[in-house]
Amino acid sequence: MRLFLYQLRGELKKLFSRRRTYIGYVVFLLFEAVLLLVFQLEHSKEEMAELLTENGLAFGDYYSSLTVTYWVMGFSMFMLGSIYFALVAGDIVAKESEDGNLRLVLVRPVSRLRVLLLKYVAVIIFTVTFVIFVGITGYIMSVIALGFEGGLFVWNYEMKVFAAYPDWGEGAGRLVMAALLIGVSMCTLSTIAFAFSCLKIKPAAATILALSVLFVDFVLLRFPFMQSYRDLFVTHRMSNWVYVLENNLSWAKIGESYAFLGGLNVTLFVAGWMAFQLRDFKT
């Protein structure tokens, strides 16, 4: 275990020594700032006020840093997170294979499974911590723009979630749980890209394939006749983090979704490992 942690430290060091890793952080910060500016526009405020008052809630109580953080986090993960995580995870094996670094690793007394497991754990740590980073920075920026006070208002039409938390503490607690679950959801995206990365393909191909799978899944889910099968769609399951924000919290519903995603992740990892194990790394 100690050696595994030492090797994992090396994997994380590789990941965080790349300049482009930090480019991702900067891009997300800029994106969050832009979203925050959009929420500050009069038109956005009017829309939010309309939505709140129509549901009997006071605009002043819920147009807050917590509510804006919820929107910023959701939007940035949906629009940029998917691309960014697919890029990083699609790269992690395929790039080293393409560059030839893997040869120097695989000629050492270490199993291929262990090499893959280390890379996978590194990707998972990166994914979850990145989502938490986005949540924290989103909240700090929102506090700077809107102040500390206010409750949390959640509205997700597709997932049929509508909730309001007038108490800051409860709202903040739910938002922290939501951030963690978004992180776990995003791990599925990273796992899909990782599995493709284990094949003998270019890093860009692994990223594109992962995004294509999710895009097809996302589009098919929007077909009306697919609604009865929506529990079988990955993107639907990935969106189930929002259930943690419901007033009547159902851990069974959330647990079922994350068990589905967990099973899918294990299956994808094993499939990637099998493909990786059978590959010849010709010099």
Partner 1 sequence: MLEVDGLRKSFGGKPALQDVSFAVREGEIFGLLGHNGAGKSTALGIILGIVEPNAGEARIAGVSVQRNRRVALRHAGAIFESPAFYEYMSGWDNLKILMSYSGGFDAAAAREVVAEVGLADRIGSKVGAYSHGMRQRLALAQALLPTPKVLLLDEPTDGLDPEGIKWFRDFILKLRDDRGMTVLFNSHLLPEVEQMCDRVAIIRQGQLVYDGDLAGIAEERLVLRIDAEPLNQAQAVFRQFGGEEAGDGRVVFPEGTDAAAIAKALVEAGTALRELRPVRRSLEDVYLEVSGSPEPEGGRSQP
The residue ranges that bind partner 1 (CB under 8 A) are 3, 6-7, 9-10, 13-14, 17-19, 99-101, 103-111, 115, 278, 280-283
106 or 121, CB closer to partner 1? 106
At its nearest, how many Å lie between partner 1 and the CB of residue 108? 4
C-beta of 38 vs 110, nearer to partner 1: 110
CB 28 within 8 A of CB 127: no
- Helix runs in the chain, H state only: 2-17, 19-40, 42-54, 59-62, 65-76, 82-92, 94-99, 101-106, 112-146, 168-197, 203-221, 234-238, 251-277
Task: Give the residue with the Cβ less far from partner 1, 54 or 280.
Answer: 280
Nearer to partner 1, 73 or 115 (CB): 115
Would you state the torsion angle of the CA atoms of residues 139, 141, 146, 152, taken in this order, to the nearest 10 degrees?
-20
Contacts of residue 145, Cβ cutoff 8 Å, sequence gap at least 6: 36, 40, 65, 68
Task: Say how many C-beta atoms besides its own lie within 10 A of residue 165's C-beta.
Answer: 22
Task: Please state the closest distance from residue 52 (CB atom) to partner 1, in A.
Answer: 48
* Complex with partner 1: residue 202 or 253, whichever CB lies closer: 202
Grouping H, G, I as helix, E, B as strand and the rest as coil, residue 150 is: coil
CB of 12 to partner 1, least distance (A): 11
Minimum Å gap between C-beta 123 and partner 1 is 17
Q: How far is the CB of 186 from partner 1 (least distance, A)?
A: 25
